Structure 1
Amino acid sequence: MTVYRKISLLMLAVFLVIYLFGALLYARQARHDVERELDGVAGLAQSLGVPASLPASLVESVRHLRPASEPGTGYGARVPDWFSDMIAGQSVRPVLNGWQIDPSDEVEEIWEGFLLISGSYAIGMALCFLALFVMVRRGMRTLSSLSGAMEAVSEGHLTSRLPRQGEQELDSLVCRFNSMAAALESEQQTVSRLVNELLQLQDREREHIARVLHDDLGQYLTGIRAQSRSLLYDPELNERQKQQARDLAEHCETIQKHFRHLLQDLHPLVMEQLGLGSAIRHLSEQWQQLSGLDCHLAMDERLPEFTGEQQTHLYRFLQEALNNISRHAHASCATLAVARNDNELSIEVRDDGVGNDHLPDNAGLGVRSMRERARCLGGEAQFLSRRGEGTRIRLAVPLARRYPTTGGVL
């Protein structure tokens, strides 16, 4: 039951109790007035002569008295019997000096007054209910707006605010909500800034580790491989030693192959050298080789020129999406689509795997990092998955007008 119905029923019960109590007091007072009026009329009948000795005009003008020889007109249809019985009683009035005491005029006046008071009371009650309806509706409108704003906050829209209210209680509630939303928005901005800085620090550390490995360990491996190859031409070594040198060179080549994959995973140098488009193509090819799954790439040649930080976020987003497919999707192929519209860069990663009805509610660290990177890009990531129908990940990055179209190699 709604609040308005509960308050209306309570007020209706109060109004009915007041009305019944007032009606009983009115009836009691009316009965007392009728009795007093009839007592006075009885004295008048004693002082008057018989009706036959008086002028007809005087006989007709006397109230509450009629000649006993004339039949009574009763209360008429306007006065209910229960009301006349309650006010005047059912006893027959005595005949005094040829006059019959008749309280019908007095009862009719009391009934008309009762109807007038009841009508006024009904109008007042209707006005009260109307005022109650207006106020409750206004308050419920504010509560409905508050509920909608709280739902928006629960969905992550922390910029929701409510206007000030004229009522002090509602205004206090609205002010508290606005303060809470402002505090949550400030905390979210702080957390987002810290997460963004953490992701940048992580990317910088990856880049540093990749460069150190490439410059130091990579050079050592290259030197060992070259020395092993040179031993094959040493005439002082026998065939067994040359085979060992040949195996050592092959091992170095295998290590370098995996080493290049590791460096590419830590920091895509191809993105620095050839741009974002080439890095995405290289990522899809490398993922296809390592996972053994097919990857269908459809990429628009008109990619915008992002900053280095934005390119890294976008690349890591795609990298994490493809890694999740190879680890958890149990898919046979994946589709990567990158398209540029007038106002946004649209990216979609789709697979034909098992799907997950609870994604992204039970998401792990990888999905959370993808959402944070999408937020750092100013976009929004959507995860659409259903068991047996695979998973679809969409990323929409809004493009500012300053982003030109790349004209380099893709």
Structure 2
Amino acid sequence: MDASGQFGAVGKRPTALRQRELPLRGIALAGSLLVWIAMFAISVSVVIWHARDSVRRETESAFMLAKAAATLTLPTAFQRRDVMAEATRIAADIRAQRHVTAELRDAAGQQVQLPAMLPVPVENDAPEWFARLFRPPPMQDVFPITQYPNVLGLLEIRTEPSDEIAEIWRDLTVLVPLLLVTGLLAVGSTMALTLLVVRRLNQLGAGLERMRIGELDAQTPRSGLAELDALGEGIDTLASHLARERAENRLLQGRMLSLAEAERARIATDLHDEIGPRLFALRAAVEQARRQDVSPELAENLAAIAAHSDAIRDSARAAIDDLRPSPDDAEGLEEMIRELLIDFGEAAPQVAFDLHIPEALPEPGESGRIAMYRFIRESVLNALRHARPTHIAVDIQTEGRQIRARVCDDGPAPLREGRRGLGHQGMRDRAAAIGAEWLPPRRDGGMTVTEFRMTFP
């Protein structure tokens, strides 16, 4: 079970689905802003509705009280009193009250100057558009000032809610900033919590990504959020299970490769022990027959038999070389590779071989050692058989827990995919069996390059 193979398909989402996805931070920000705007609009609407009703009721109440006071206190037309002076005092008293105002005019229609009365009217600093929003329908009433038989003037009483509207304006100028600050704090808190959750989700995603590439030993960090920590523990448990499964699979693959190597060695031995002596006996018999006095036709047939026996011998030797097992298992990977290239150098002296290998090459395990050895051997053999190179370089590098081998030759371009033989298929299958990666030959800088990458335990 290869972790990278399992999670590679899961981690890739269809493009059409990804285009419809929205980031959680954007959703949280838009949602919190919409909720705050709705709450702000509702709060302000409720305040305005109640304030308008309050202004209407208070101005009506104040108007009725002022009207009753004027009715009860104005002198009658038959009293021998200074009626205009009394009306002036009453008008001044009404003007001093909240939510109402009064004007006194004489018989000629001229406005009578009223004395200033406490309390001082509240300054009206509300803008006109705001005052129009809260101002209720106006109410007014006129009382004639008479002293029989003359009409001395008129007392007019009107509603004047400017002071109440000014107070509402000042209250709202305090309330609205408070609502704004409260909304910003709420949005900020929501975004902070969202960022915390997103950060934790990103950490969990990073853990899944490590699982996808095969790193199963890393633990996901804890955030203190119970639900997300439970999810992280589940991911860690899954990673541990996959690590155990991978270890068991690698052990089984190692055993399978070992059995395959043993079978290859047995077949090579059988070829050498069984076919070799018979071919030698056949060749000896043919040579003995050719030394006797035979007809030209029979001599020609014996020569053909000798040629065919030589061809079979060469084919058997090539097969035995291909099936020849790797060096002694007691040797390390570095010794195995060096001995392999020495053998190739003796077999192909016209080719220059270079080997670049780290000073401390880690041991990738039995199956990894066999797979790496077979890859290098098969790649060099392919180059020697098909590319006619003058230079072959073997480069081995390590990075973290990954080991990479590159075989480069200066022969012509590699064969097309459809013409690759069983050797390439064998390398591909061997890499897949141990969770490694084999890259087929490609041209790079005038060289034919093939690579083998695997992760060692």
TM-score w.r.t. length of structure 2: 0.65
For 1:318, the aligned partner's letter is: I
Q: Decide whether the 8 Å contact of 2:356 with 2:396 is kept in 1.
A: yes
Cα 1:170–1:207 change in 2 (3 A) is same
Cα 1:145–1:355 change in 2 (3 A) is farther
Q: Decide whether the 8 Å contact of 1:93 with 1:101 is kept in 2.
A: yes
Greater Rg over alpha carbons, structure: 2
User: Which protein has greater RCO, CA pairs closer than 8 Å, 6+ apart?
Assistant: 2
2:98, 2:358 → 1: CA distance? 106
1:269, 1:257 → 2: CA distance? 21
For 1:392, the aligned partner's letter is: V
Residue 210 (structure 1) shift: 0.9
> Which deviates more, 382-391 or 155-164?
382-391
| 1:298 aligned partner | 354
Q: Decide whether the 8 Å contact of 1:332 with 1:353 is kept in 2.
A: no
Q: Are 2:19 and 1:19 equivalent residues in the alignment?
A: no
Q: Deviations over 1:132-164 (max 9, x none)?
A: 111111222222233333333333334454223
For 2:247, the aligned partner's letter is: Q
2:398, 2:36 → 1: CA distance? 66
| 2:234 aligned partner | 176
The residue correspondences of 1:29-40 to structure 2 (distance < 5 A) are 29-40=50-61
| 2:321 aligned partner | 264
Cα 1:149–1:388 change in 2 (3 A) is same
| 2:413 aligned partner | 353
2:451, 2:24 → 1: CA distance? 43
- Superposed CA RMSD: 4.7
TM-score w.r.t. length of structure 1: 0.71
Gaps of at least 5 residues in structure 2 are: 1-21, 74-85, 104-112, 144-154, 418-422
2:415, 2:199 → 1: CA distance? 41
Q: Are 2:366 and 1:366 equivalent residues in the alignment?
A: no
Q: Are 2:175 and 1:117 equivalent residues in the alignment?
A: yes
Cα 1:224–1:309 change in 2 (3 A) is farther
Q: Deviations over 1:37-80 (max 9, x none)?
A: 224433157537768548x9x8996444556357999974x423
Q: Decide whether the 8 Å contact of 1:158 with 1:182 is kept in 2.
A: yes
Identity %, equivalent residues:
21
Q: Are 2:130 and 1:83 equivalent residues in the alignment?
A: yes
2:359, 2:316 → 1: CA distance? 30
| 1:405 aligned partner | none
Q: Deviations over 1:270-298 (max 9, x none)?
A: 88999653433434776x79xxxx85421
Q: Decide which of 389, 393, 403 is 2:450's aligned counterpart.
A: 393
Residue 177 (structure 1) shift: 2.8
Residue 262 (structure 1) shift: 1.1
For 1:277, the aligned partner's letter is: R
The residue correspondences of 1:60-209 to structure 2 (distance < 5 A) are 62-65=97-100, 68=103, 69=113, 76=124, 78-89=125-136, 91=138, 93-94=140-141, 101-209=159-267
Q: Decide whether the 8 Å contact of 1:347 with 1:395 is kept in 2.
A: yes
Q: Are 2:294 and 1:238 equivalent residues in the alignment?
A: yes
Q: Decide whether the 8 Å contact of 1:317 with 1:373 is kept in 2.
A: no
1:251, 1:205 → 2: CA distance? 28
| 2:373 aligned partner | 315
Q: Deviations over 1:92-114 (max 9, x none)?
A: 65577576643222111112222
